[in-house]
Structure 1
Amino acid sequence: MGVTRNPTNITQGSKTKGGLGESTLRPDGTLKVTGEFAYSSDMWHEDMLWGFTLRSPHAHAKILSIDTGEALATSGVYAIMTHDDLPAFTKYGLEYKDTPVLADGVVRYHGEPIAIIAADHPETARRAAAKIKVEFELLPLVIDEETALADGAPILHPNRDDHHADHVTHPNIVHRQPIIRGDANEAAKRADIVISGEYEVGMQDQAFLGPESGLAVPAEDGGVDLYIATQWLHSDLGQLGPVLGLPEDKIRMTLSGVGGAFGGREDLSMQAHACLLALRTGKPVKIVYNRFESFFGHVHRHPAKLWYEHGVTTEGKITHMKCRIVLDGGAYASASPAVVGNASSLAVGPYVIDDVEIEAVALYTNNPPCGAMRGFGAVQACFAYEAQMDKLAAALDMDAVEFRQLNAMSQGTIMPTGQKVDSPAPVAELLRRVKALPMPPEQQWLAGDAEGRSIDIRDLPGALSNTTHGEGVVRGVGYAVGIKNVGFSEGFDDYSTARVRLEVINGEPVAMVHTAMAEVGQGGVTVHAQIARTELGVAQVTIHPADTQVGSAGSTSASRQTYVTGGAVKNSCEAVREKVLELGRAKFGTYHPAWATAELLLEGGKVVTDGGEVLADLVDVIEGETIDLELEWRHRPTQAFDLVTGQGDGHVQYSFCAHRAVVEVDTELGLVKVIELAAAQDVGKALNPLSVVGQIQGGTTQGLGLAVMEEIIVDKNAKVRNPSFTDYLIPTILDTPTIPVDVLELADEHAPYGLRGIGEAPTLSSTPAVVAAIRAATGLALKRVPVRPEHLTGT
């Protein structure tokens, strides 16, 4: 998997080894590869109990009674709790407090928690749960837009008190965001060709490898210590306090090893349950979901239905765009309002379209709750608008890439929300670069060809299933490009905190970086150490475990952590450096005038001038001192989108990625083999090139999964039919193609080091690129993902 880089000289940092711009290795990498890394599911306490959750077998029902008597009598059971046993506030939520800790007399989705059990062994807890008798009265189902908005439809949340309730047309709409700019109807009259299409995106799961798990330990002060795998420690803390009836200083949270996240750990899962059982029993309680439970225990990507219309002139300029995006939010709000904001504000894609009419809504239904997942609303929109770009190019008989380049946005473009893009937006260049990458060689499909070459079945559609030997296999090539916002938007106070400590230990200067950033696999702990080495010029940097004893770092999501928490680490390191120089001036300044006049740097454990002259050894400056500073860092403010027009400077930064997919399709069997998924992405500044490429390749693979494999199947009774990795398929190493990456580095002057968030953008464009390639191979319209064999064969 190759990579080319195109660096710009935007960092004048330390020459200390392991600093910014180097591909330093992850401190946890070897431990994870060898199996020695301690994940949250590995935690142990000598006298701990095991928790288990009883879940609803129905998607919508009234709870008439719960009988826990027989279960409580089971030997080894210490406690059983239902909604009636909750000590304080009974609901939580990321944006709206609408999610019950335990079902409050009604279950609204298949798998909703009803009761929690603590026992001395996990199997004891499971057997006790099976003895709990729950009597239900089934209620009518809300499963789609038609049933959600129909006259007389069941109102799933009749007592809404959130701030968006007055701006929706029906109480089963979680949130609605229109965006109006110009006059799309008038502009449509100037179009020579008008193309419309309806598209659908299935429900994707984050499919992280480490299921939900945690350990709650009751404390002597009446509080609780929670060791948890999460994405956002302080958000969890803010939701847990009211539920447990405890002040936040009585709830101490420490991040334990996280086995992946991708948005699925932003919401609470078992955090409250473990703490409640620990406080009830007075004993530590550990909860570990198995894979089946995990599919019910976290939110998923919103399935979507999208309608798009574009007009275009014969010269290839887009005249207007209209669209309507309907997202299924499931039973509870989670992050649906923010997902709606992203889907609507990014619905045009990375193109210049002056006249637009957009509406995006999220619905309450009895389907599984949906919320944050990598790409966060922009993924669904990208699949639709990129399909439209191919249809428009075909109608004009234009090259698909050239058509996109003709309409591509750039720095200075005005977004449909009225916001001016004030940093590089190299959309046309990324498309040029990805198209220019060498194509993979053609396959030799006939075993008895002139040179006697044989076929490696791993290279064929169907691979090791050995279902085809090359008959009816056709190659296709497709392109796509996407736009994704970075950081929290719409007026959210997006900040992070970092504490940096510098001292001498055993005769060597050592820095410690302490943040609440959740390391979920993205490599933040590596970058934080690189920043400290660069700014402080020290070789030894320790990363303190993330916990709530330091200020919030926000969520590890929205491609924001390197930008925001990296900015906080940089800010605190700069303050520490200034303190070092103050000490140095006090100790040595009278002996050398450069202390007062030069731009002083810390490099290689020394204080040097910008010309490289050594003024003092860092150990001599700080010996006997401990410099310990904790500072916040905020990016520039954003604005909420107007709820009528959608206008507002809602985003702080945008990221862009383009893909070229090469696929081979067995048109008779409907099998697809993705041969290559080439990517080109602007990252602003590659702080750790190896990690950057890994993020792009990982996001690309997740988009591939949505294109041809991944979907949670929900039947007409709103029940999940495939909650396992046997039936929910994700790409394996045999499904993952070659992913060459071309990294472009155009600095964003508003961001620390000029960097740009990178983790989500590749997930957007990889999906439509793969589907475009399959369309090219088959000639089929393919308006839905994931693409399945029956879609290709008509069976």
Structure 2
Amino acid sequence: MPEYQPEAGAEPGRPPEAEQPAEEFGIGRNVLRPDGLGKARGSFVFASDIWADGLLWAEVLRSPYPSARIRSIDCSEALRVPGVHAVITQEDLPGHGYFGAELVDQPVFAHEVVRFYGEPVAAVAAEHPAAARRAAARIRVDYELLEPVTDPEKAFTAEPIHLDGNVIRHLEIRHGDPAAAGDVVVEGLYEVAMQDQAFLGPEGGLAIPGEDHVELYVASTWLHSDRDQVAQCLGLEPSQVRLTLAGVGGAFGQRGDVAMQVQLALLALKTGRPVKMIQSREDMFCGHPHRHPARMRYRHHATRDGKLVKVEAQILLDGGAYAATSASVLAQACCFAAGPYVVPNAHIDGYVVRTNNPPAGSMRGHGTVQVAFAYEAQMDKLAAALDMDPVDLRLRNALSTGDVLITGQVVNSPAPVRELLQACADAPMPQPIPKPPPAILPGGAGRTAELPTIRRGTGFAVGIVGLLGSEGYEDYATATVRLENDVALVTCAAAEVGQGFLTLATQIVQEILGVEQVELGPADTGSGSSGPSVGSRQTWVSGGAIEQAAKAVRRKLLAPIGERLGMSPELLRIRDGNIVSYDGIVRMTLAEAVAGRVIEETVTYRPAPTTPLDANGQGDAFAGFAFVAHRAVVDVDPELGLVRVVEVTTAQDVGKVLNPLQLTGQIEGGVVQGAGGAVLEELISARGQVLNPSFTDYLIPTAVDAPDVRIAALVEEAEPGAPFGAKGAGEPPIIGVGAAIAAAIRNATGLELPRMPIRPQDIALPLAGQRAQ
């Protein structure tokens, strides 16, 4: 199986160069991002930078309570602030005023009741942002405080937050023999806290009104879904709402909440002026959905020789006040609750519930990060109970292509789990530095850790994630490729959110049409939908649409040439701007072949369909899968509870490497984000109120905190049906990072550590107690 192995002495995290084709462009090359230079120079226009003459500024008033009844809203004082043009509430919405990615249950503005801290209550448009803020502060809301539901386990019996109850979804998976039992049984109770996507670009946008329509320029992950939801909320036809993708400063699964889009559009229509909004960091931390907090109870059964017999799990996700994408997140968590292992018998019982805690929704990993933390801790417990090496236990039970998941689905994707794990295990270990500088000790340059007390630990984890839409979701993408002379124009509404899709789209067309110059049209709702930039799907689905459209253009171009030459067009190739026959003879230039014509094709690509899960949680719910393995090395100061993640070695199955440099960036970013979730990042709330809504208090890894990332292997085994066999690479890097780091800290300390992130007190206090005994 082809794979990338690091050369001896290679820099950690840098795979060797792929074998390069003769052209300076196309598949397999380190083609630079078309937006990269502008972002590096600071000239790229993000959503927060867009401008229109005569614009007004919007500000949102948010609830200071997680649960309250709204007795009245008085906007009279706000309207008297100089420069204010409009104040809107839910009563001003001409449509039904509710939105939702999967279940339409969230109002644009809270009315009658408030369900979470930071929920929008009203919005203001004014000539200056300061005037808008002053006006928002003068809106008088009479609240009757209610007791918030903040414990997800109490949500089952608490008063319903919504009329349809507090349970968003219950999913049960029964597989194999329910009475099966193993010779050795291990149990555990695990918890994962709320993590924020923490993208750097603030949420913002601009709405421009027309006579009978409105135009929105926003940072989004799915323009067409936004359009439809905005139109419904405003009582408009979809054709009366046009969205154009503005520059996106990161997403990681978020930017799917359309409340801001509706607020902007309504203010623009109401005032007849362009309206701009830039949310504060506090608004973002309090307002948008985050990673679901999870509580998980596990029981693993195995034979004495280490073969898994049965996995039992109870999974409880806290969805916050509204459904968002909670149903699909629960599905991923439950379907992959046993990990990438052969498990003949399983009983998984999963719930996601509403509470008055901060909202939860999509984030990189989509439910698999939480369960990976639990099932990999269980595998380490099982290895200890069996007196087996943890890597050997995992290798003994690893999935392969053709094996069956606990949902009954056969894994038809390449599943090189053993190769990935073995690559991590065989990679050279980082060597201790005899006299390390203080900056690389736990605690950093403050010299809080002393070298003699530091313990080093190592841990492993493997992960699995489902790709594309799932459970019968009708997944598709539309793209147009237009060839004129020797220039190709690509029109596709796929949202570039930092994952590098624009680069891959360029490379796909270059490879197929043999042209160097590829122009990318704007992403907007004027063309067909390309679906959301989530689920690691854009490379496969929108990339597949572009690939097929480019091939259709090539066929249309080469068919008459082949007819004139008396040969099949399949024997002709486009290389270096020339039409070349199978014998290597240049027949004509590409410009001569096009001869001033415009050749254009539009294709809608649909991957293989999936099916809903049945009452027992059985079914072919996923179009494909991706796998990853990690090895973490940590240094721990047990007295202070401080941790430094020294290195994370990773191996990933990628189908096909389309752009080595860009793939490396995705992997490094995912690993660092996973390390943040393991030891730093936690959105803390008390009785529903967010306590750390800023980067002062919500800590993400800096360059000093980031571990070295070593790529042990990129396994290339083509994914059937995907463009050039490439899998999406955005989500897998994060899945098992937290689990591996937790395993390494356990290895260093001997503690159970059932909660993530692992805080200093989780290490220092138990060890201090042990020393005191």
> Residue 162 of structure 2 corresponds to which residue in structure 1?
157
> Residue 678 of structure 2 corresponds to which residue in structure 1?
707
| CA distance in 1 between partners of 2:289 and 2:724 (Å) | 34
User: How is 1:331-730 mapped onto 2 (pairs within 5 angstroms)?
Assistant: 331-444=321-434, 454-504=435-485, 509-585=486-562, 589-590=563-564, 592-594=565-567, 596=568, 599-642=571-614, 644-715=615-686, 717-730=687-700
**1:694-752 C-alpha deviation (Å, 9 max, x unpaired):** 1111111111111001110011x211000000100001110111101121111123322
Q: Say whether residues 1:2 and 2:12 are aligned partners.
A: yes
Asked if structure 1 preserves the Cα contact closer than 8 Å seen for 2:152 and 2:317, the reply is no
Q: Give the AA of the match of 1:175.
A: R
> Residue 109 of structure 1 corresponds to which residue in structure 2?
116
Asked if structure 1 preserves the Cα contact closer than 8 Å seen for 2:287 and 2:358, the reply is no
Asked if structure 2 preserves the Cα contact closer than 8 Å seen for 1:15 and 1:604, the reply is no
| CA distance in 2 between partners of 1:470 and 1:479 (Å) | 25
Shift of the alpha carbon at 1:260?
A: 0.1
**1:58-85 C-alpha deviation (Å, 9 max, x unpaired):** 1111100111111101100000001111
Aligned with 1:297 (options 274, 287, 294):
287
| CA distance in 1 between partners of 2:296 and 2:308 (Å) | 19
Structure 1 residue ranges without an equivalent (≥5): 161-170, 445-453
Shift of the alpha carbon at 1:423?
A: 2.3
Shift of the alpha carbon at 1:465?
A: 2.5
User: How is 1:69-468 mapped onto 2 (pairs within 5 angstroms)?
Assistant: 69-150=76-157, 153-158=158-163, 160=164, 171-184=165-178, 186-188=179-181, 191-220=182-211, 222-444=212-434, 454-468=435-449
TM-score by length of 2: 0.96
Shift of the alpha carbon at 1:609?
A: 1.8
Q: Give the AA of the match of 1:783.
A: P
Shift of the alpha carbon at 1:611?
A: 3.1
| CA distance in 1 between partners of 2:58 and 2:635 (Å) | 48
Cα distance change on mapping 1:145 and 1:597 into 2, 3 Å: closer
| CA distance in 1 between partners of 2:744 and 2:527 (Å) | 48
Q: Give the AA of the match of 1:560.
A: R
| CA distance in 2 between partners of 1:553 and 1:280 (Å) | 31
SS at match of 2:667: helix
| CA distance in 2 between partners of 1:82 and 1:697 (Å) | 43
> Residue 35 of structure 1 corresponds to which residue in structure 2?
42
Shift of the alpha carbon at 1:138?
A: 1.2
Q: Give the AA of the match of 1:34.
A: R
SS at match of 2:669: helix
Shift of the alpha carbon at 1:603?
A: 1.5
**1:313-344 C-alpha deviation (Å, 9 max, x unpaired):** 11011111100100000000000010111111
**1:140-179 C-alpha deviation (Å, 9 max, x unpaired):** 22112332112xx211111x3xxxxxxxxxx211001111
Instruction: Tell me which moved more, 755-764 or 250-259.
Output: 755-764
Q: Give the AA of the match of 1:431.
A: L
Q: Give the AA of the match of 2:575.
A: E
| CA distance in 1 between partners of 2:18 and 2:339 (Å) | 26
TM-score by length of 1: 0.93
Cα distance change on mapping 1:282 and 1:309 into 2, 3 Å: same
Q: Give the AA of the match of 2:190.
A: Y
Asked if structure 1 preserves the Cα contact closer than 8 Å seen for 2:248 and 2:497, the reply is yes
Shift of the alpha carbon at 1:35?
A: 1.1
Q: Say whether residues 1:778 and 2:749 are aligned partners.
A: yes
Asked if structure 1 preserves the Cα contact closer than 8 Å seen for 2:482 and 2:601, the reply is yes
Q: Give the AA of the match of 1:142.
A: V
Cα distance change on mapping 1:354 and 1:41 into 2, 3 Å: same
Asked if structure 2 preserves the Cα contact closer than 8 Å seen for 1:230 and 1:518, the reply is yes
| CA distance in 2 between partners of 1:733 and 1:228 (Å) | 30
Asked if structure 1 preserves the Cα contact closer than 8 Å seen for 2:514 and 2:576, the reply is yes
Structure 2 residue ranges without an equivalent (≥5): 1-10, 767-773
**1:650-681 C-alpha deviation (Å, 9 max, x unpaired):** 00111011001000001111100011001011
Shift of the alpha carbon at 1:601?
A: 1.6
| CA distance in 2 between partners of 1:3 and 1:530 (Å) | 23
Asked if structure 2 preserves the Cα contact closer than 8 Å seen for 1:62 and 1:136, the reply is yes
SS at match of 1:562: coil
> Residue 61 of structure 2 corresponds to which residue in structure 1?
54
| CA distance in 2 between partners of 1:223 and 1:375 (Å) | 37
**1:365-403 C-alpha deviation (Å, 9 max, x unpaired):** 111110000000111111100000000001111111110
| CA distance in 2 between partners of 1:342 and 1:302 (Å) | 12
> Residue 450 of structure 1 corresponds to which residue in structure 2?
none
Asked if structure 2 preserves the Cα contact closer than 8 Å seen for 1:477 and 1:662, the reply is yes
Asked if structure 2 preserves the Cα contact closer than 8 Å seen for 1:54 and 1:114, the reply is yes
**1:344-378 C-alpha deviation (Å, 9 max, x unpaired):** 11111000011000011100111111000000011
> Residue 745 of structure 1 corresponds to which residue in structure 2?
716
Asked if structure 2 preserves the Cα contact closer than 8 Å seen for 1:269 and 1:298, the reply is no
**1:672-693 C-alpha deviation (Å, 9 max, x unpaired):** 0011001011101001111111
Matched-pair identity in %:
48
Shift of the alpha carbon at 1:793?
A: 0.8
Aligned with 2:705 (options 708, 716, 735):
735
> Residue 167 of structure 1 corresponds to which residue in structure 2?
none
Q: Give the AA of the match of 2:139.
A: I
| CA distance in 1 between partners of 2:570 and 2:166 (Å) | 64
Shift of the alpha carbon at 1:265?
A: 0.7
Cα distance change on mapping 1:407 and 1:7 into 2, 3 Å: farther
SS at match of 2:470: coil
> Residue 45 of structure 1 corresponds to which residue in structure 2?
52
| CA distance in 2 between partners of 1:782 and 1:519 (Å) | 38
| CA distance in 2 between partners of 1:257 and 1:710 (Å) | 26
SS at match of 2:322: coil
Asked if structure 1 preserves the Cα contact closer than 8 Å seen for 2:13 and 2:708, the reply is no
**1:77-110 C-alpha deviation (Å, 9 max, x unpaired):** 0000011111111101011110001112110000
Asked if structure 1 preserves the Cα contact closer than 8 Å seen for 2:558 and 2:569, the reply is no
- Matched residues, number: 755
**1:608-631 C-alpha deviation (Å, 9 max, x unpaired):** 123322222111121221112211
Asked if structure 1 preserves the Cα contact closer than 8 Å seen for 2:186 and 2:381, the reply is yes
> Residue 448 of structure 1 corresponds to which residue in structure 2?
none
| CA distance in 1 between partners of 2:595 and 2:759 (Å) | 66
| CA distance in 1 between partners of 2:492 and 2:13 (Å) | 31
Asked if structure 2 preserves the Cα contact closer than 8 Å seen for 1:14 and 1:603, the reply is no
SS at match of 1:294: helix
| CA distance in 1 between partners of 2:172 and 2:508 (Å) | 41
Asked if structure 1 preserves the Cα contact closer than 8 Å seen for 2:180 and 2:310, the reply is yes
| CA distance in 1 between partners of 2:102 and 2:513 (Å) | 39
